[in-house]
């Protein structure tokens, strides 16, 4: 019988030179799976109380090690080269051209590690006419097509609420590193690998069939609020006690079960609702029937009826609802971290899960520069004098 392993990605070492969300999220996903992540942070943050007591740091920097290194400084380049020489991959999300000016671009670092996997995330990628534009998550969502289709038909487009451009790009970055490691080892590849990711392309890759629909049929998907042509009826409805619930009936069988639950078993025979095309044409009237039924009930009894009739539904959860949801608790989707800087803090649990060597919180977010001695002296073999000089000069 095989024994469970302590860390799924043991032996994989990542240098995290990322900023804000997208770059650090790449390494966060891998750190949760047991990779060794060495995060590079500015020396000026060492005594910054606000930097340590930000609750988001507790979640995004957990399981990492922290060293200080001011990458802007020319003295930092030789240090970073020594770091990547002992690593598998590096992640950065500076504006295109920035790291090249600092002497730490892919060509520079490949001199130190010819097998290095170099992950780059930017707003528009390293090439193309928009390369040098300033960008953020929300702009990536706009350019990539997501914001255009989000909102009510007669209202301006709206932001969907999550920082999807950053987090999706981070997910693709983690996937790219694992794919590159597999290729390196399986094909015995001795060439460097550069991964060029952009916020807008990450969003666009999630657009599903929209490109195919447009190329073949000229269809431009527009905003339709909560109406989706493939899921009628399907809408959020408000219960009597003030809870929003999403109810879907995607096929004739489920629609019949919903009508039975509402005490309207003959409704599917009504010519206005007898098939998908009719239900779509009369969507507003059909949703009003369901709305009145839902409005007359409190949430818990309503859920019991929908469960009994096997009608797909979902409470529209706030974060407070998620914390109180027994399914989230049973699946252990939330994990408490005893962070030394902010105290106990609850964050999303490591994900995805595997049946053994599952990701977990190995250690809380480190203090800025907490692992300087371990990495610089222990891993890189720097002398006390080298470290002292770099520290005195503000490089580390």
Write out the DSSP string of 70-139: -TTSTTHHHHHHHHHHT-SEEEE-PPTTHHHHTT-SHHHHHTT-TT-EEEEEESS-SSSTTTTS---HHH
Q: Output the six-digit token pair for 18.
A: 């990322």
Q: Are strands 13-16 and 244-248 parallel, antiparallel or unpaired?
A: unpaired
Task: Report the 10 Å Cβ neighbour count for 31.
Answer: 30
Write out the DSSP string of 293-345: HHHTS-HHHHHHHHHHTT--EEE---HHHHHH-HHHHHTT-EEEEEETTTEEE
Residues forming beta bridges with residue 348, ordered by sequence position: 334
Q: Output the six-digit token pair for 214.
A: 């447009």
Residues forming beta bridges with residue 14, ordered by sequence position: 37, 89
Instruction: Kindly give, in sequence order, each residue whose CB lies less than 8 Å from that of residue 236, ignoring residues fewer than 6 positions away.
Output: 226, 244, 245, 246, 316
Which is nearest to 257 in space by CA: 207, 328, 189, 307?
Answer: 307
Write out the DSSP string of 202-234: HHHHT-TTHHHHHHHH-------TT--TTSSSE
Please say whether the beta carbons of 270 and 261 come within 8 A: no
Instruction: State in Å, rounded, how far the first CA of the chain is from the last one.
Output: 47
Instruction: Kindly give, in sequence order, each residue whose CB lies less than 8 Å from that of residue 194, ignoring residues fewer than 6 positions away.
Output: 106, 118, 120
Q: Tokens 């301006």 belong to which residue?
A: 156
Q: Tokens 């998550």 belong to which residue?
A: 137
Q: Tokens 């964050």 belong to which residue?
A: 347
Q: Output the six-digit token pair for 57.
A: 């740091």
Q: How far is CA 286 from CA 43, 245, 263, 316, 388, in A?
A: 61, 16, 14, 21, 73
3-state SS, residue 36: strand
Of the residues 166, 260, 270, 275, which is catalytic?
A: 166
- Known catalytic residue: 166? yes
Residues forming beta bridges with residue 338, ordered by sequence position: 344
Enzyme catalytic residues: 166
């Amino acid at each position: 019988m095989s024994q469970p392993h302590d860390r799924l990605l043991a032996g994989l070492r990542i240098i995290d030179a990322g900023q804000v969300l997208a770059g650090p999220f790449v390494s966060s996903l891998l750190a949760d799976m047991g990779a060794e992540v060495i995060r590079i942070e500015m020396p000026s943050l060492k005594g910054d109380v606000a930097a340590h007591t930000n609750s988001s740091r507790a979640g995004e920097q957990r399981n990492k090690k922290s060293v200080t290194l001011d990458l802007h400084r020319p003295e930092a380049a030789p240090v970073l080269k020594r770091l990547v020489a002992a690593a598998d991959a590096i992640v950065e999300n500076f504006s295109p051209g920035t790291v090249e000016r600092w002497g730490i671009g892919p060509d520079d670092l490949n001199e130190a590690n010819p097998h290095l996997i170099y992950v780059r995330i930017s707003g528009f990628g390293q090439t193309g006419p928009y390369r040098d534009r300033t960008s953020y998550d929300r702009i990536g969502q706009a350019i990539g097509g997501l914001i255009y289709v989000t909102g009510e038909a007669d209202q301006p487009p709206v932001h969907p609420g999550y920082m999807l451009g950053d987090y999706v790009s981070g997910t693709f970055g983690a996937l790219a590193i694992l794919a590159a490691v597999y290729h390196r080892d399986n094909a015995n590849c001795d060439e460097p690998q550069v991964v060029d990711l952009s916020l807008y392309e990450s969003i666009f890759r999630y657009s599903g069939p929209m490109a195919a629909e447009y190329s073949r049929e000229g269809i431009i998907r527009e905003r339709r609020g909560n109406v989706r042509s493939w899921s009628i009826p399907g809408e959020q409805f408000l219960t009597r006690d003030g809870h929003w619930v999403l109810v879907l009936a995607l096929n004739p069988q489920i629609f019949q079960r919903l009508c039975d639950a509402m005490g309207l078993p003959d409704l599917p025979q009504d010519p206005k609702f007898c098939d998908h095309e009719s239900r779509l044409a009369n969507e507003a009237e059909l949703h009003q029937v369901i709305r009145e039924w839902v409005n007359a009930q409190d949430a818990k009894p309503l859920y019991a009826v929908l469960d009994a009739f096997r009608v797909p539904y979902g409470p529209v959860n706030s974060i407070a609802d998620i914390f109180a949801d027994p399914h989230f608790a049973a699946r252990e989707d939330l994990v408490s971290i005893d962070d030394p800087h902010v105290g106990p803090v609850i964050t999303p649990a490591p994900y995805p899960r595997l049946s053994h060597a599952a990701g977990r919180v190995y250690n809380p977010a480190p203090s800025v520069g907490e692992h300087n001695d371990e990495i610089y002296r222990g891993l890189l073999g720097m002398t006390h004098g080298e470290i002292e000089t770099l520290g005195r000069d503000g490089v580390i």
